[in-house]
Amino acid sequence: SSSSSGPRRSDQRGLAGEETGNWSQSKRLRSTRRDIDFMLSAVQINGFLRSNEQTIDSVSVPEFDGRGLCAIQKFESNQLAANTPNEDRRSAATCLRRPSPCIHLPFRLLTVLASWPTASTTLNFPKSTYHRIHEKGSVLPCLYPWYLQSNLSATSSPNESPTLGQVPLYNDLMKSTAIQVAFSVCTACVAHVSTDRIHVANSGDSRAVLGVLEEDGSWSALPLSLDHNTQNQAEVERIKAQHPPSERAMVVTDDRLLGVLMPLRGFGDVRFKWSLELQQSILAGLESGVDLDSLNLYQYTPPNYLTPPYLDVAPEVTHHKLRPQDRFLILGTDGLWDELGNKEAVRLVGEHLSGIHLQAPVSPSERQMKLGQMHKLLLERPTRASPALDANVATHLIRNALGTGEYGELGQQRLATMLTLPEDLARLYRDDITATVVYLNSDLARPQHC
């Protein structure tokens, strides 16, 4: 989830089998003793990677046929879990009020959501606003806390928590599912694609990146969102400015909000938004017999919690006018971007789209290699130009995110290791990954001549 982190790619190369285990009902390995067998056949690896693929094209959405005013040709999506169950969500819909597709990867008109608890309740888009809901039941985690937070914001000043009588949804909060949602954190990235432009709303560390085909045939990456974490210095300064100077050194510590939370914006997680009095009153008002442990709720106060709220959900909205060279849009949760940079992701999608694999020149550091190291590199570099194994480009991204080695080669053993990690270890080495790639109709952006 977005609120924690484990060893990333640099730590994964040294991973070796140390335990064995049994397959659970979810087909994930549970570690029980030493000497795990990380061996998987190519067929098994493909089964793991392709089980959550989704493709939406002109067969299911007639507007994607390229003959109308639709800027989308098709989109492909996939998910791979590290948590059990997967905490990522995705969804997509087409707007009725305008002839423009909206791809919603967890609150995305395309929307992607990262890190939300599993809820049995589902909520569909209003039929008066959307049609062709391409994936249902994943919108509740986004809409409820947004509505709740908007009501709280409307009834209190930024530094004053509302009383229970001021919260219109207090009665609904008595329901355990709503409580669980309100106390959990989620990030979201939403893209609205109209006939000539893209609008992106982002809250947290999911990301939207545009793939651009340059005149020389190379690919470049244009970010359409900024991550809301401590790597974004402007975001850090924004948060510090909302609190007294005496708290400046405490608001962000160890690259986390109050030393605890990695994303600096997000839905839910009222533990960083509401006063302690309000939190305690709501939890105390739960119906008797409700087990807070079963809801994964616990009495915890972040350190130096003096002037809430520290976390807000307000999205950062950007827009981009489409050009002929804009070929695709990548939407991904933080699990994807933990493993791939913007340029690398765009290169992978671009080469998958064009079928042309461009080898980067030998880098200055590679030129300092000894003869034996250079020989090894020259043997491995051709593997970067091997044909794509997956028809779904989102699967292609995930395969390369987890299976790419030191020299850019795709290693089956490395991939098998990452896919067979036991449930209690997987989250230490990778996060849930959701990737959606939107293919754009570049002809629509060209000047029209009468």
Residue 396 backbone zone (phi > 0: left; psi -120 to 50: alpha; other: beta): alpha
Residue 66, pLDDT > 90, answer: no
Name the percent of the chain in helix, strand, coil, to the closest 5. 30, 20, 45
Alpha carbon distance 140, 170 (integer Å): 17
DSSP 195: S
pLDDT for 34: 45
On whether the CB atoms of residues 331 and 224 are closer than 8 A, the answer is no
pLDDT for 147: 41
Question: Which residues is 29 bridged to in the sheet?
Answer: 23
Q: Is 372 exposed, middle or buried (0-12, 13-18, 19+ CB in 10 A)?
A: exposed
Percent of the chain having pLDDT more than 90? 44
* The residue type at 246: S
Residue 396, pLDDT > 80, answer: yes
Q: How confident is the model at residue 201 (pLDDT cuts 50, 70, 90)?
A: very high
Mean pLDDT score, 332-361: 88
Count how many Cα atoms sit within 13 Å of the Cα of residue 276 in the half-sphere of its side chain: 9
Q: How confident is the model at residue 106 (pLDDT cuts 50, 70, 90)?
A: very low
Distance (Å) of CA 99 to CA 15, 69, 71: 49, 8, 10
Alpha carbon distance 400, 346 (integer Å): 12
Number of neighbours of residue 288 by Cβ within 10 angstroms: 4
On whether the CB atoms of residues 15 and 9 are closer than 8 A, the answer is no
Question: Which residues is 202 bridged to in the sheet?
Answer: 189, 316
More confident residue, 67 or 402: 402
Q: Which of 110, 38, 84 has the alpha carbon at shortest distance from 402?
A: 38
The mean predicted confidence, pLDDT, of the chain is 75
DSSP 245-275: GGGHHHHEETTEETTTBS-SB-EE-GGGTS-
Tokens of 29: 């390995």
Alpha carbon distance 84, 26 (integer Å): 8
Contacts of 278 (CB under 8 A, 6+ apart): 161, 162, 163, 164
List of E strands, 107-255: 111-114, 130-131, 185-193, 197-203, 207-213, 219-223, 252-253
The model's pLDDT over 302-345, given as tens digits with 9 standing for 90+, comes to 999 999 999 999 999 999 999 999 999 999 999 999 999 999 99
Alpha carbon distance 220, 400 (integer Å): 18
On whether the CB atoms of residues 301 and 276 are closer than 8 A, the answer is yes
**Rounded to the nearest 5°, which phi and psi values hold at 229?**
-145, -175
pLDDT for 385: 61
Alpha carbon distance 360, 344 (integer Å): 11
pLDDT for 353: 92
The model's pLDDT over 138-175, given as tens digits with 9 standing for 90+, comes to 443 344 444 444 444 444 443 443 333 333 433 444 45
Mean pLDDT score, 245-261: 96
The model's pLDDT over 22-40, given as tens digits with 9 standing for 90+, comes to 434 344 444 444 455 568 8
Sign of the dihedral defined by the CA atoms of residues 64, 70, 73, 77, in that order: negative
pLDDT for 1: 36
In this prediction the pTM is: 0.77
Q: Is 318 helix (H, G, I), strand (E, B) or coil?
A: strand
Contacts of 425 (CB under 8 A, 6+ apart): 31
Question: Which residues is 433 bridged to in the sheet?
Answer: 80
Q: Which of 353, 348, 373 has the alpha carbon at shortest distance from 362?
A: 373
pLDDT for 174: 42
Contacts of 133 (CB under 8 A, 6+ apart): 91, 92, 93, 124, 125
**Helix or strand (DSSP H, E) at 91:** strand 89-91
Contacts of 305 (CB under 8 A, 6+ apart): 258, 276
**Rounded to the nearest 5°, which phi and psi values hold at 47?**
-60, -45
